[in-house]
Structure 1
């Protein structure tokens, strides 16, 4: 059935207008973004096709422009609109989470990032920028590396810290091997970042390595003494 054949009260845009966005299904919200369908299929039909390509709406952001264009009825313009909407939703979600996270221990960091980082096949380096109350202002990926190595440049890290007016930083990276044991390079990198932070007056308060279901805090291991 085409959208125009639905009763006015059942059309997604009208339902949003009169009942509120919270009353619409995921497919209806996507249909509004799509605006039009294709021959024989409504925008809601296409929305259901998009949703069928992912396990949950949390994975919509991972769809590329090409992925979206592979769905018949979605051209470049619609793919761009959808991609922009998914990215904006992700940023809003991330911001709301970060504003509630207070770091009191390495376990807090592990709880926050383990699910996101433990199964990555590429090494990434993430910074948590904290305010004076150790509440996360911003979580930001600073570097992405190869399978076994991330190249960390203090300049990029501390430029971001200044941008976010951060009082302190916790740095986190993953080991794709699953073994969270710090390497000699991890230890040397940590010492270099601590020294740079001391010059700038921005403390590096921990470096946490994420493995497969495990983590190592370099503070707890005594490398910050």
Structure 2
């Protein structure tokens, strides 16, 4: 389908031209462009030289406008990559195992998921010694709310290679469950990653609150 340069498109072009340099009325220049190039396809196929024939256009503005088209075309042509679905602690472990298992500092990571358990984003929230005073639910759920996440899985590594839960790990898990019940965003699991294995705090019974 050919996209006609209507008022909304003209306004978007005018904003680009305004960024591209001072001088002239960008809205008027955008209107003159639409008179000569009535569709986005026609405008995108113009050369810098052609665009510079339009009153108010400069070489810099023309190059910036065509660069915006190039980005848009690449975006449309880019193959869609399906977000991974995380349905179990094993899925979460396999996603981050190679990245976390040999680190010499503890990294606390959250995998934020949508209602279909598809990954929205992964965030490293804390680095260093993990304890319940450092890992605050406020920071975890702030990101969840920002991302409109339905739920999340927390993970962290044990640099010792032994994934046995510590007292601090249990406390963090309990606090995340409690906060999730209040906010309405469930912490599905807290996975501890060792050198060649993992422990699910959910499966161990520490997250049944």
Instruction: Report what 2:61 is aligned to.
Output: none
Identify the match of residue 123 of structure 1 among 103, 106, 116: 106
Give, in whole Å, the separation in 1 of the partners of 2:82 and 2:173: 26
- Asked whether 1:193 is paired with 2:172, we answer no
Distance 1:149 1:193, change over 3 A: closer
Gaps of 5+ in 2: 1-78
How far apart in 2 are the matches of 1:175 and 1:99? 30
Q: Distance in 1 between matches of 2:106 and 2:81?
A: 22
Over the aligned positions, Cα root-mean-square deviation in angstroms equals: 2.0
Paired residue for 1:208, among 151, 167, 191? 191
Q: CA separation of 1:177/1:159 partners in 2, compared to 1, >3 Å: closer, same or farther?
A: same
- Deviation track 1:96-121 (CA, whole Å, cap 9, x = no partner) reads 99952101211111110000000000
CA distance in 2, matches of 1:175, 1:97: 35
Structure 1: gaps (5+ residues): 1-95
Relative contact order (C-alpha < 8 Å, sep 6+): which is higher? 2
Alpha-carbon deviations, 1:179-225, whole Å to 9, x = none?
00000110011101111111110000100000001100011111122
TM-score where L is the length of structure 2? 0.58
Q: Pick from 200, 203, 207: which aligns with 1:217? A: 200
Q: If each structure's helix is expressed as a fraction of its own residues, which one has the higher value? A: 1
| Change in 2 beyond 3 A, CA 1:112/1:97 | farther
* Residue pair 2:120, 2:149 contacting (<8 A) in 1 also: yes
For residue 85 of structure 2, what is the aligned residue in structure 1? 102
Q: CA separation in 2, counterparts of 1:160 and 1:208?
A: 19
Cα pair distance change 1:136/1:171, threshold 3 Å: same
Is the CA contact (8 Å cut-off) linking 1:125 and 1:171 kept in structure 2?
A: yes
What is the distance in 2 between the residues matched to 1:197 and 1:100?
A: 23
Q: Which runs of 4+ in 1 moved over 6 A?
A: none
Aligned to 2:160: 177
